[in-house]
Amino acid sequence: MIAITGATGHLGLATIQALTAKIAPSEIVAVVRDPQKAADTLPQGVVVRQGDYNDPASLLAAFQGVETVLLISTSELEYEARMREHKNVIDAARQAGVRHLVYTSVVNPSAESAFGASPGHFATEEYLRASGLTYTILRNTLYLDIIPMLVGEGTLPSGQLYASAGDGKVSYALRAEIGEALANVLAGQGHENQVYDIAPGPAYSFQDIANGLSEVTGQPVAYVPVSGEDIAAGMRQHQVPEPFINLLLGMNQAIKDGEFDAASPAFEQLLGRKPTGLKTYLAGVYGK
């Protein structure tokens, strides 16, 4: 059996949906905090078990009879909380006799990264390697799906795109396709103790995004580089929570530092086809 943590989140659900095309749903364990709420969300036949990242006993029970666990990294932003939750999952998997743990990390994880999630990913990778479990690590780039959050939904009435990432570039990937890649790893063989950079080339700058938006909308869109302080001030005017502001500023700084400017064939190989590119995605979201 294969257990998926965070099973009702965007990536967890995408992975389960792709996995049901490869193995029987009864061989998939969806680990969720609230099984009642999950029942209407998950595909028919998937086994639902209660498990909370902050409740080691629930995780141990959820992993009984499971051979492989997919640990989808927590959405918790604070480092100590992230590490506690990830360690709880890894420890419970080891205690339950799980053979293989697959983990969703980030490209170029670093203890010194400005991106708030990166130090936790770096430390989790080290902890997982030391655990004795067979592992597979997918180091995910940023999702294509976050572009509307960064540039605005549907339209850009001002015709301007603001960011504090300078000329930094990102190898974006579609979240649903990362789910497919994860399903292929979970259902496949030969992935033991492997690390895959899920970072398809080419990488794109915010200027490239602006150019793409201009092309698909037929309206001129200009990229306006600004400081992190200006971005933060604008978000505070709209009552954006401070932890999210810090996460976004750190992500922009990491982009500026080149941490997401990566290119690997691994994603295409795991998918078995070329992944969705920036222009195709922008046309689907913003095209007329």
What's the whole-number mean pLDDT along residues 103-132?
97
CATH, residue 32: 3.40.50.720
Across all residues in the chain, what is the average pLDDT?
Answer: 94
Question: Strands of 47-50's sheet, edge to edge?
Answer: 47-50, 28-32, 2-5, 68-71, 100-106, 134-140, 194-198
Tell me whether residue 71 is in a domain.
yes
pLDDT, average across residues 220-238:
90
Q: How many domains does the chain have?
A: 1
Q: Say if 90 falls within a structural domain.
A: yes
Confidence of residue 77 (pLDDT cuts 50, 70, 90): confident
Q: Can you give the pLDDT at residue 255? A: 96
* Distance of alpha carbon 8 from alpha carbon 1, whole angstroms: 18
CA nearest to 207, candidates 218, 196, 215, 198? 215
Instruction: Give the span between the Cα atoms of 63 and 30, in whole angstroms.
Output: 10
Q: Which residue has the higher pLDDT, 118 or 77?
A: 118
What does pTM read for this prediction? 0.94
Residues 6+ apart with CB under 8 A from 57: none
pLDDT attached to residue 276: 97
**pLDDT score of 38:** 87
Q: What is the pLDDT of residue 153?
A: 58
pLDDT at 156: 62
Reported as a single tens digit per residue, the pLDDT across 27-65 is: 999 999 999 888 889 999 999 999 999 999 999 999 999
Q: Model confidence over 176-218: pLDDT tens digits? A: 999 999 999 999 999 999 999 999 989 999 999 999 999 998 8
Q: Work out the average pLDDT over 120-138.
A: 98
Which are the contacts of 189, defined by CB distance < 8 A and separation ≥ 6? none
Q: How far apart are CA 112 and CA 95, in angstroms?
A: 31
- Predicted confidence at residue 149, as pLDDT, reads 84
Could you tell me which of 126, 74, 41, 12 has the C-alpha nearest to residue 2?
Answer: 12
Give residue 130's pLDDT band: very low, low, confident or very high (50, 70, 90). Answer: very high
pLDDT at 152: 65
What value does the mean pLDDT take over residues 76-92? 95
Position 90: which residue type? I
Report if residue 212 sits inside a domain.
Answer: no
Is 224 part of a structural domain of the chain?
no
Residue 288 confidence (pLDDT) above 70 = no
Residue 165 lies in a domain: no
User: Is 269 a domain residue?
Assistant: no
pLDDT at residue 235 tops 90: no
So what's the pLDDT on residue 10?
94
Residue 130: partners with Cβ closer than 8 Å, 6 or more residues away: none
Q: Per-residue pLDDT tens for 140-175?
A: 999 999 999 887 655 565 688 889 999 999 999 999
Domain housing 98? 2-141+173-198
What integer pLDDT is reported at residue 159 of this predicted model? 85
Whole-angstrom Cα distance, residue 152 to residue 149?
A: 6
Confirm whether 187 is domain-assigned: yes
Residue 158 lies in a domain: no
Residues 6+ apart with CB under 8 A from 209: 147, 151, 161, 223, 278, 282
